[in-house]
Structure 1
Amino acid sequence: MTTETELVGDEDDVDFATSTTSLEVAAESRKRRLQEMKAKVEGAESMERQTDEDSDDDGKPVLFRSYAPLDSGLGTKRETKNLFVLEKEIQDQLADTDDMSIVERVDVGVLAPRKVDWDLKRDVAERLQKLERRTQKAIATLIKERLSKGQTELVEAVNSGAYSTFQDDE
């Protein structure tokens, strides 16, 4: 007792199986054709090789018609190259590294750990220099004003500003 769904399922399996075999057959025929073409090409190349070998057997020297050497001994002469240049350079570098003299004096700044904000101070140093110059100019103008107003001595004019800021702090 088979149902219709079972029959339909079996037909799908058969179609899948036949389609797979037809694909395999097509692949095999393609491989066969490629092998035949390859054999034809190799056969033609082997024929060319045989004709080339036959022509080389004549023993005729090759003539360079567009090249006339200036010196007949040019082909036999070879330059002598120093092949040990690299080895000499390596030996020199090794000799330089053998000098292991102990450093007598070690800079404490190199070994000591830096503060946490050292990079910030480094980055802001240029701006602080500008501000320091402006501050010095402002102090100089204040001292000049005090000297011109009160006709006091220089020491008193300089100290009076410091004394007033000291009292403001307390």
Structure 2
Amino acid sequence: MAAVGTLNDEALKRKERLKAMRDKRAVSKTNDDVSEETEESKEKERLPKPSFRSYKPGSEKLKDLSMDTIKPSDVTDIIKDQIDAGKTEHVVSEVDLNNLAPRKPDWDLKRDVSKKLEKLERRTQRAIAELIRERLKASQDDLAYVVMGAGVEREMEDDD
């Protein structure tokens, strides 16, 4: 039985705690309502007042907040100065046709390949000279004799 008595006591304590929580919540709600009202009034005070530039309000309260109409300034003088500054007095007497003519479609390829072609040209010249030397060695002729013989043959052809 002792256990039942303690359960009843605990139930009563629980009911009291719940009642205290409800009362506390009710008090905080009333405080929140009051604080919400004060916050709303503070917000209204903090909000900026509207200023109407191009809108003409209908109510009398807002007419005081409208701004005076501003007339646009005259910009014709500024525009005339800019137009005069844009006119050039010098006339181009000669036109360089190379600058006006469009480039060939492969000009950039030729530009990029030109360095490689220079190397290949040197190698080609060396290879041709090497082939000539090999032919001369193969024919077992003296280089001076061949050169002189070619010179003599040319003279004979010139005489004819």
Q: Could you tell me the TM-score, scaled by structure 1's length?
A: 0.33
When Rg is computed on C-alpha atoms for both structures, the one with the higher figure is 2
Which has the higher relative contact order, 1 or 2, with Cα contacts under 8 A spaced 6 or more apart?
2
